[in-house]
Structure 1
Amino acid sequence: MLLSRIGALSPRRAAARPGLLLRCWARSAGSAEGGTAEPSAGPGRVGEATKYRDSVLLPRTNFPMIVSGQELVERELEIQRLCGFSELYAWQRARKAKKEFCLHDGPPYANGDPHVGHALNKILKDIRNRFEVLRGRHVHYVPGWDCHGLPIELKALGDPAGTKDLAPLQIRRKAREFAEGAVARQRAAFRRWGVVADWDECYRTSEGRYEAGELRVFREMHAKGFVYRDYKPVFWSPSTRTALAEAELEYNPRHVSRAVYVTFPLTTPPAKLASSAVNWGSVAVLVWTTQPWSIQVNQAICFMPNTQYSLVRRADSSQLLLVATECIETLAAKLGAQLDPVGTFAGSELEGGVCQHPTVPGKTLPLLPGNHVTVGKGTGLVHVAPAHGMEDFGVATHFKLPVECMVDEDGRFTETAGPELRGQAIVAEGMDSVISMLRAAGALVKEEDFVHSYPYDWRSKQPVIIRASKQWFINVDSLKDKAKEALQKVRVTPESARGGLMAMLDQRTYWCISRQRSWGVPIPVFYHRETDEPLLNRHTVSHVAQLFAEKGSDCWWELPLDSLLPPEVLKKSKAGAANDYVRGEDVLDIWFDSGVSWAAVLPEADPRADVYVEGRDQLGGWFQSSLLTSIAVRNKAPYRSLLVHGFTVTETGDKMSKSVGNVVDPDTIINGGEDPSVSPPYGADVLRWWVAESNIFSEVQIGPKALNSAQENINKLRNKLRFMLGNLHDFDPRSHAVDPKDTHYIDQYLLHLLRDFSIKVTDAYSEFDAGRVIRLLQAFITRDLSSFYFTIIKDRLYCDAADSLGRRSCQTVLWEILDGVTRAVAPIVPHLAEDLYLHTPGHDEGETLFRSGWMKSSSMWKKPGLEEAVEGACAIRDSFLSVVSAHKAPEYELTIAIEPGLLFELMESLQEEPTSTCSQLTELMMSSRTTLLSSMPRDLPHDALVTSGSFLINLEGGVIREESAYSLAATPCSMSRCPRCRRYTAESLDCLCPRCQTVLAGTK
């Protein structure tokens, strides 16, 4: 036979796909997949149908078609207990495995209840981890929580003002209790979702052991010169009284600032312009600012060296103003006055000019070049307040200007601002006072409201300011080149996220890591009582780290100073006595806390994770802090790949908000709400299916529509799997399985398709593409199984003898398909998969799916010639069904004529006799009798339906190509319908067909 000698085949072609076939069960119409309906005898033959009912082997299973409501919830919990969900992680770590897969869990914040953002992230990780467990790898997945920081402190204490009266240890105790409660609730939810993890060894950034590891990383970074203390402007939150990092800001695009146009009288003209015929004594420099309060601490005015400037005269007052030439037209409209140019010159010629401060008598301000000046808004000249602007600070550093901060931690003017302003809030009454002072000095030209994007504290939702203070920093500028080089070796999915990572690294020059709070890891520094010089070195940090490991970081406040600075440490540090110092009061930025998790959690042998998986907000957060700390200490990234997913939103695309009331609660999704008709219990698998099916790289929508769709898809899958399960009720693969090489060709063909399916599913999971897994699964079940294979095999399954080769062949393949599909979907819906596994025959008592391995497929299933044989037959059947409706196909006998050649030999492998009612070719054709000839008979009946077509055979990569023509004739059956199997193969209406007679005779 050709099937035994043909070489490797080309891939299946779309033209030969059986997906075009109509769904039809021609052998035993009326039985739905998964149902238990029996063949209908047709009008007038009810008695005959009843007579043979018990002899038809219909599907039989106690696996329910649908489980819903509270029953579903209870069944999932039962499956978790029966199948050892909580023990799976320890089991897989204890078994022998050649490869390790490490997914490092980014710590969720322990400041509230679990939400759907948690569900998206944790389930996405769990799908991949479960896949790796099935593949036989050691999965390293230690869940953790970020437990420090101001949001926890605020929620634990309520009103921030109340914290002033509490000692640090009181604040820490309340914050710790709050965080532990949040951790407990989140952990319980994650476990209910079916997440497999090392729940016994979770990490928390507030644990002493973790904190000690964090200090050791800090020690190494300080020893290498990356950590330093400096006086410079940082983002400061007056509402929470602490410095902030950029990652802790959110920008309000509708913030309204009080912007002003202010004049600064020119007292000394620029040297290059002094000789020009201009009355420089009447010239004023016009400045626009959105922060009028900062004029009080102004030290200079900057211009753009490469921009053209002009002196203009106001037509309504004859006042001479210095502005950028490009801004004249816009300014005239803003001020409502005609501005006539008097003279024009290059910006570089302004250097050397000096102005008078409008509200501080005797204070002069130099005109200085500044590359940060723009002409998009304002006048092309900006005032410089070095203590309250990053770029201003750069100008001050370059020109050695004083950096004077007149604003305290509460955002109020200090005594140095003068008695008129002392104690006033700079964004409230202090702003009013400064504007009034400008107006009184005749310097205020115009005041206006200006709407723009402005940074807010992401915790308190209040505006921040920029304020100079002594803080601890990491020199990102010295790390970023190495970090960017390391990122080039990291796989980033989606690739577009790499640009965001690089851009955020480029934007940072330093990272402020000190916070003025109590709830966090103390910066292990001591300050000299008299000089304020910090005592910080390898010896002091190592000692404090050891104390933290033993006692936790509360000991920073609990222990006496001589315990924190014992004599031996002071001696090694070449310092004085312990009482010469005071302990520092700042704590480390929580992004530093979580950013060093690689050092505390990852395997010591190779502390580098295979993948980090977090939302896109972590591009400037955890992804970056982890990278910078790892590069600083180890010169390499802590991850080999990154997966960056989107955020969850409502089905209308809106951000979820408790105040709006549109939050989707995962607990309500799983267990249902107060009114089940409004919020039915979906169970955890529906939540998991939603995650898998979503496009995780965009905004992920969730709501009733998405959840109902997920539930419907799971029920459809359940029904198809139940159909296979029902047809295995009398099958045990250990004793009934047929060797694949002895199975029917159509059965072998399905094994061939199953192998292709398993390869594609494996690739999809390996690429974190669970959505592709679902698409592959649905296509395989709908096209290859339901619309094709199930349609063909029902007669053999139901009406052949129970132990016949044909039926066992079909059951063998059904068992393989059921097993493969169950394993394929198991990482996504583990509760359903384990439940199916419990009902599937051939498993030992107590055996569970996740302890039994991945999809099993054999290269032997790719049998040479098999694909062409079956798909050639399917092409012929498509031609047949183009002239005969599918449900009428069993009423016809088919004659197929093919000229001698490859296609004829392939069809001969499916039917060795010229004419047959029970050949594999007849089964594929769905006719009652098939005749295979090399030419069409001339004496065809007058009512024969004739058609023709061709099929291209492409073998051995195109080495063998042959297009074979075929013709076929369909004629109404000459025989009667069998009352048992309903095929037209009986001698008379009252007689069983030969096949059914043999089957019934064998059961007596």
Structure 2
Amino acid sequence: CWGRGSLRGGGLLHRALSFSSSRCHDVGSGEGSAQPAETGSARALYRDTVLLPRTEFPMKLTGQKLLDRELEIQQKCGFADLYSWQRERKAKKEFCLHDGPPYANGDPHVGHALNKILKDIRNRFEMLRGRQVHYIPGWDCHGLPIELKALGELATSGLDPLQIRHKARAFAEQAIARQKAAFQRWGVMADWDQCYYTYDGAYEAAQLKVFQEMHNKGLIYQDYKPVFWSPSSRTALAEAELEYNPEHVSRAIYATFPLITLPPKITSEAASLKISPLFGLENVSVLVWTTQPWTIPANQAVCYMPNAQYSVVRRADNSQLLLVATERTASMAALLGTELESVGLFTGSQLEGGICKHPTITDKEVPLLPANHVTMAKGTGLVHTAPAHGMDDYSVASHFKLSVECMVDADGKFTDLAGPELQNLSVMTKGTDKVISMLQECGALVKEEQCIHSYPYDWRTKQPVVIRPSKQWFVNTASLKDKAKEVLQKVRILPESARGSLLAMLDRRTYWCISRQRSWGVPIPVFYHRETGEALINKYSVSHIGKLFKENGSDCWWELPIETLLPAEVLKKSKAGPATDYVRGEDVLDIWFDSGASWAAVLEDSRADVYVEGKDQIGGWFQSSLLTSVAVRNKAPYKSLVVHGFAISEKGEKMSKSLGNVVDPDAVISGGKDPSMPAYGADVLRWWVAESNVFSEVQIGPTVLNAARDNISKLRNTLKFLLGNLQGFDPRVHAVDPKEMHYIDQYMLHLLREYSIKVTDAYSEYDAGRVIRVLQAFIARDLSSFYFSIIKDRLYCDPKDSLGRRSCQTVLEEILDGVTRSIAPILPHLAEEVHLHAPGHDEEGTLFKSGWIKSSSVWRRPGLEEAVEGACAIRDSFLSSIPGKNPAQFDLTVAIEPGLLFELMESLQEEPTSTSSQLAELMMVARVNLTSELPRDLPPDAQLSHGTFLINLEGGVIREDSAYSIAVVPTAAARCPRCRRYTAKSADCLCPRCQTVVSQAQ
């Protein structure tokens, strides 16, 4: 609308918003620069005839009153029963948001608040618009962090698995209770008595069914291969359990492997190669680079890139001959601080068949082998290969049938296989020192340097991991990747940029280690033969164990005798010997497999409409859920993914106790010890979530929270104004049909409908921040600066039951209802509080049981829109001609040639001149004269302006660029002592409208 935001009147609005039920304020027509107040006697004479707003809805709630009011609202409006109520009602559609399980290992934090409130906003929106919401909160209850925290000082006291499990379960239950209480206090809608927990027997049985079906398809297998191993946790880890430390410091070395057998192609083609006469092949050493010197004793080969070019170079300082990639020669010369003279050139493929001498192990020979993983980004272009300690190295070993012998134990120490000098030394510390010392002693160490690089750490203990081989259970993700990527293309992802990360992580994951060497988890249902070590696992044994878990929980794996776990009928079908020939396995399943199978326990055969989690789940729950669902059902478990960022401090720092910047959500709600953290209440916390750009990192702190509180206070003021002016109005009795309303009122319904459409679209896009922006623009521009300023005279000074006042109240009630419902998903406590004060419904009714915004298609009035917006364009010209002056003190003449614009203005004022027409109300002037041309006898002080307005009706079928002229002159009328408009004959008598109202009241 042209110029709605420029209308003056904010000052009076703020005063009107500050009304109380006990005293009368100055009354005006909506102008911002009010004249001096009337005398006390004049005010008192008409005070009781003015219909000032009245409501018991408090403008402000702070401190304990705010907290008590929120809890009262939760109780009175049935927050606890809302989820169950909506599950029982009939609905055409269901909306399923599958809850990713938070980890049950500590107190609730702002990351929980961000995630749970974001989900709740969407759930409440879907419920309001009539869908049956399926949302079952869950908790991830197994895993090492819980086990370690539960044991505390008992971690090394030799407890048996059942004792460990009982303590871990008790710890998890306590954490769940604290988190659940917090989620309820935040207003999160759910049936909190019907949650899922990964330690429940029924859940574990569903998980084993997924395991069984994947095993039946050959997707789960046991193998001896390198895995990420955490010495600090003494267990294998999946990639999702790692965090990378970009500041890790390694002792990187350059070491030589003497070439003792020449590659056959070099020997046979020596004459045709560009070789210097001084070149002696028997003195060449292959130069390798590694950031993990402790792996040198496990070396089985040196790899090269077949298509690259290699050079034999002579050091200028000591004549040493080195084989390096030609591309890396210059950087090596700079590193060594000497010139490197090229004395021979080869292609990588010509190195095939060459054999080197191991630098630290006497009589050990290692071959030169081609490999695709060799790069020229760093190092020498020749890669030291230890199959036991590298994923790429293992691939080379598998292809060339090299040994994968492990010299490192579960504690990260060298075993006796590494020799007496290294045995029992920690590979990452003293073991590294010793290996470097050994290389130096034998003359193989060329250079040592500090290398700062990204290195994997155990995400729980925050200690470095190593790669070492062990016998583990794996999921063959390589065979699932293509299908997973295919179904992922059909999944809607917000933001879309997260899709690339998901696909990249799938590409990198060739297998998934799912076994853990711990006690607190779901046991892998495998038995091993006492003599041969052969695994017994099949559909009969796993199915039987699943039934036992469902009935007794997984503790029975340790509680029941082997004969019960492996009954005769299972052994017979398995063609196995007696149960006493077997021992139960001791490994448990990776907790990502635990939570990744949640779709099977919670969703069963259906798919969730959406998963909503933080970006750390791109490599975690999002992926494990996808892989298990694709493996079993050949489809994704979700239709959409919403990936949000992390909560960080106001300074953009990651929160940590050491920095002292952790924000406790309980302190946000109830107040903290620090004076900068007053009691904000749950709705401020929810507003913070909604207003944030959740697709990036989300900042929280006093500044953000204070702004949220202030914005809610402004919203309360607007809602209070609406409620106050609806005193005594019942829409079921007093509502006016839209066709009979004033045009400005009809126009507001048109704007309200546009507002509701924008808000609905924003919620549908998971963009609560846009909801708030649309809300604030609607209140500031369309309500406060435009409609409220215009209607005050009609609301306060017209007869109580007049059509004009009831028309206005009908619209105010629709606005109140629409705004309240639009904010309800974000601010449920405030919305229900407003609903308790709002007219037109039973006291026991709650907003959330009464549906979404009730906009009507009949509110869309294109012709009406042109009439009001054309008047707004004229009004802008008028206001710009009297800058800084009170429009109520002027008469306005509007001259428009006969045509569409004139007809539109006639719809707002039928008579040629009026002080009470809708056009006069819109202009907020004393009088409007509507003519086809300006009169010739205008007074000399008249202000003249001209303008045009483009009329566009019926989608452009009717277009007319209409001109208008205006003349502004000071009014000759006096100010009415009751309404304060300049429409009275003299200062001591009422205007005609007020005379009628007062006489009727008497």
Do Structure 1 and Structure 2 share a fold, with TM-score over 0.5? yes
Pair 401,246 (structure 1): closer, same or farther in 2 beyond 3 Å? same
1:39 aligns with 2:11: no
Whole-angstrom CA distance in 1 between matches of 2:446 and 2:869 = 85
| 1:677-688 alignment, distance < 5 Å | 677-688=675-686
What is the correspondence of 1:554-703 to structure 2 with a 5 Å cutoff? 554-602=555-603, 604=604, 606-675=605-674, 677-703=675-701
Q: For structure 2, list consecutive stretches of 5 or more residues without a partner in the other structure.
A: 29-34, 271-276
Matching residue's letter, 1:771:
G
Q: Distance in 1 between matches of 2:44 and 2:107?
A: 59
- 1:519-569: CA deviation from partner (whole Å, max 9, x where unpaired): 111000111111111111111001101111111111111111111101111
Is residue 221 of structure 2 the alignment partner of residue 223 of structure 1?
A: no
Question: In structure 2, do the counterparts of structure 1 residues 864 and 440 end up closer, same or farther at CA, with 3 Å as the change threshold?
Answer: closer
1:793 partner amino acid: I
Rounded to whole Å, the distance in 1 between the matches of 2:406 and 2:157 is: 23
**Cα offset for 1:933?**
1.5
Residue in 1 that maps onto 2:228: 235
Supply the AA of the counterpart residue of 2:420: P
Conserved? CA contact 1:34–1:720, under 8 Å = no
* Secondary structure of 2:938 counterpart: coil
Structure 1 residue corresponding to 2:764, chosen from 759, 763, 766:
766
Quick one: distance in 1 between partners of 2:337 and 2:944?
90
Q: What residue number does 1:731 align with?
A: 729
Match of residue 23 from structure 1? 9
Quote the residue 2:274 is aligned against: none
Structure 1 residue aligned with 2:497 = 496
Partner in structure 2 of residue 966 of structure 1: 964
What is the CA-CA distance between 1:164 and the residue it aligns to?
5.9
CA 333–864 in structure 1, closer or farther in 2 if over 3 Å, else same: closer
Indicate conservation of the 8 Å contact 1:25/1:887, yes or no.
no
Map of 1:196 onto structure 2: 189
AA partner of residue 822 (structure 1): T
1:978 is matched with which residue?
976
Q: Check conservation: 1:25, 1:794, Cα contact below 8 A.
A: no
Residue 139 of structure 1 aligns with which residue? Answer: 133
- Tell me the residue number matched to 1:258: 251
Q: Which stretches in structure 1 are left out of the alignment for 5+ residues?
A: 1-13
**Cα distance in 2 between the residues matched to 1:381 and 1:970:** 89
Cα drift, residue 815 of structure 1: 0.5
Task: Say if 2:202 is the partner of 1:209.
Answer: yes
The equivalent of 1:87 in structure 2 is 81
Q: How does 1:875-886 map to 2 (within 5 A)?
A: 875-885=873-883
Query: Which residue number corresponds to residue 9 of structure 1?
Result: none
Could you say what secondary structure the match of 2:874 adopts? helix
2-side partners of 1:863 and 1:43: how far apart?
40
Contact 2:557 2:565 in 1 (8 A): yes
Q: Deviations over 1:870-922 (max 9, x none)?
A: 11111111111111247521111222111111111111111112221111111
Q: Structure 1, residues 811-836: CA drift from partner, whole Å, max 9, x if none?
A: 11100100100000111101001000
Rounded to whole Å, the distance in 1 between the matches of 2:455 and 2:239 is 12
2:223 and 2:668 map into 1 onto residues whose CA distance is: 50
Q: 2:147 aligns with which of 153, 173, 195?
A: 153
1:913 maps to: 911
| 1:264-319 residue CA offsets vs partner (Å, 9 max, x unmatched) | 22221111223546533322222222212211111111112112222223333333
Q: CA deviation at 1:776?
A: 0.7
SS of alignment partner, residue 264 of structure 2 = coil
TM-superposed CA distance for 1:949, in Å, is: 1.4
Deviations 1:782-823 (A, max 9, x none): 100100000100000000111111111111110010010000
User: Match for residue 990 of structure 1?
Assistant: 988
Q: CA deviation at 1:375?
A: 2.7
Read off the aligned partner of 2:9 and give its amino acid letter. Answer: R
Q: CA deviation at 1:30?
A: 5.8
CA spacing shift, 1:415–1:918, aligned 2, 3 Å: same
Give the alignment's TM-score, normalised by structure 2. Answer: 0.96
8 Å CA contact 1:599, 1:607 repeated in 2: no
User: Within 2, Cα distance between the matches of 1:971 and 1:342?
Assistant: 100
Task: Report what 1:923 is aligned to.
Answer: 921
2:160 is aligned with 1:167? yes
CA–CA separation in structure 2 for the residues paired with 1:317 and 1:899: 102
What's the CA shift for 1:260?
A: 1.9
Task: Tell me the amino acid that sits aligned with residue 659 of structure 1.
Answer: S
SS at match of 1:613: strand
Taking a change above 3 Å as real, the CA distance of residues 721 and 168 of structure 1, as seen in their structure-2 partners, is same
**Bigger shift: residues 295-304 or 338-347:** 338-347
Deviation at 1:43, TM superposition (A): 6.1
Further displaced range: 437-446 or 449-458: 437-446
SS at match of 1:358: coil
Change (3 A) 1:589 1:529: same
1:4 aligns with none
2:244 partner amino acid: Y
Q: Which residue of the partner structure matches residue 185 of structure 1?
A: 178
2:524 paired with 1:523:
yes
Mapped partners of 2:314, 2:14: distance in 1: 96
Distance 1:29-1:628 versus aligned 2 partners, 3 A rule? closer
* 2:120 counterpart (117, 123, 126): 126
> Which amino acid is the alignment partner of residue 478 of structure 2?
D
**C-alpha distance in 2, partners of 1:332/1:885?**
77
Q: Kindly provide the amino acid, as one letter, of the partner of residue 926 in structure 1.
A: M
Shift of the 51–336 alpha-carbon distance from structure 1 to 2, 3 Å rule, reads: same
1:75 aligns with 2:75: no
The residue number in structure 2 matching 1:54 is: 48
Q: Per-residue displacement from partner, 1:418-440 (whole Å, max 9, x unpaired)?
A: 22222221122222222222223
Q: Could you say if the C-alpha distance between residues 915 and 410 of structure 1 is closer, same or farther in structure 2, counting changes exceeding 3 Å?
A: same
Runs of 4+ aligned structure 1 residues displaced above 6 Å come to: none
State how far apart, in whole Å, the 2-side matches of 1:825 and 1:750 are: 19
Residue of structure 2 equivalent to 1:116 = 110
In the other structure, the counterpart of 2:31 is none
* Corresponding residue of 1:935: 933
**Which amino acid in structure 1 is aligned with residue 265 of structure 2?**
K
Deviation of the 1:673 alpha carbon: 1.2
Q: Percent identity?
A: 71
Name the SS of the counterpart of 1:273 in structure 2. helix
Further displaced range: 640-649 or 352-361: 352-361
The structural deviation recorded for 1:711 is 0.5
Which whole-Å CA distance do the structure 2 matches of 1:480 and 1:120 have between them? 31
TM score, norm. by length of structure 1: 0.96
Q: Secondary structure at the match of 1:882?
A: helix
Q: Secondary structure at the match of 2:455?
A: strand
Partner AA of 1:590 in structure 2 = I
Aligned residue type for 2:970: P
Per-residue deviation at 1:973? 1.7
SS in 2 for 1:541: helix
Instruction: Give matches, 1:757-836, under 5 Å.
Output: 757-836=755-834
Paired position in structure 1 for 2:273: none
Deviates more, 1:413-422 or 1:327-336: 327-336
What does residue 510 of structure 1 align with?
511
Q: Distance in 1 between matches of 2:302 and 2:894?
A: 95
Is the partner of 1:259 in helix, strand or coil?
A: strand
- Secondary structure of the residue aligned to 1:39 is coil
Paired residue for 2:842, among 830, 835, 844? 844
* 1:30/1:208 CA distance change after superposition, 3 Å: closer
CA contact (8 A) 2:212 2:539 kept: yes
C-alpha contact 1:25 1:791 (8 A) present in aligned 2 = no
Q: 1:389 to 1:915 in 2, by over 3 A?
A: same
Distance (whole Å) between structure 2 residues aligned to residue 476 and residue 577 of structure 1? 35
Residue 974 of structure 1 aligns with an amino acid whose one-letter code is: A
- Distance (whole Å) between structure 2 residues aligned to residue 324 and residue 911 of structure 1: 90
C-alpha distance in 1, partners of 2:157/2:323?
49
Q: What is the DSSP-based 3-state SS (H/G/I as helix, E as strand, rest coil) of the residue aligned with 1:272?
A: helix
CA RMSD of aligned residues (A): 1.6
In the other structure, the counterpart of 2:548 is 547
CA distance in 2, matches of 1:679, 1:813: 39
Structure 1 pair 980–30 and aligned structure 2 pair: CA distance change class (3 A): farther
